[in-house]
């Protein structure tokens, strides 16, 4: 009886390891979390911090990018995480109805939602 229980436990452990490896293989590292320094991964709908205690997440469908008719690509996300800003071409302006090239700044306040800003040219 004891042997059976032990075998089941071994099997569960084995299964968990496989699951973990598969899960890790799926995850693509985008950059480093500005809050805690852990890896940030690309999810289906967002870019999220691998540290569960840290709630840093950037949503792909963030209003900031939607308003500017810009896809929040992994390239932009990587630039924001690395440099705190990233150059983006063809941003749409609601005010003028035209598109322009600009620099998006990551303006993280540490709250639930991360904010973004357009860098003003001085």
- Binding residues for Zn ion, rule: CB under 5 A, are 33, 35-36, 38, 49, 51, 54, 56
DSSP-derived pairing of the beta strands 115-118 and 99-107: antiparallel
Our CB check for Zn ion shows the closer of 51 and 103 to be 51
Q: Is 72 helix (H, G, I), strand (E, B) or coil?
A: coil
Our CB check for Zn ion shows the closer of 37 and 90 to be 37
Collect all residues with Cβ–Cβ distance below 8 Å to 60 and sequence separation of at least 6.
45, 46, 47, 71, 72
User: Least CB distance from residue 32 to Zn ion, whole Å?
Assistant: 9
Our CB check for Zn ion shows the closer of 48 and 88 to be 48
Spatial distance between the Cα atoms of 88 and 74, rounded to a whole number of angstroms? 12
User: Least CB distance from residue 29 to Zn ion, whole Å?
Assistant: 13
């Amino acid at each position: 009886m004891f042997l059976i229980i032990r075998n089941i436990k071994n099997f569960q452990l084995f299964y968990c390891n496989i699951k973990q490896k598969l899960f890790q293989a799926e995850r693509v590292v985008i950059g480093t979390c500005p809050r805690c320094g852990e890896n940030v991964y690309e999810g289906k709908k967002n870019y999220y911090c691998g540290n569960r205690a840290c709630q840093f997440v950037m949503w792909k469908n963030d209003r900031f990018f939607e308003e500017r008719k810009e896809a929040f690509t992994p390239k932009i996300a990587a630039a924001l995480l690395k440099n705190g800003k990233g150059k983006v071409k063809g941003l749409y302006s609601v005010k003028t109805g035209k598109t322009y090239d600009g620099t998006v700044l990551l303006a993280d306040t540490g709250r639930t939602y991360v904010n973004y800003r357009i860098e003003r040219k001085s």
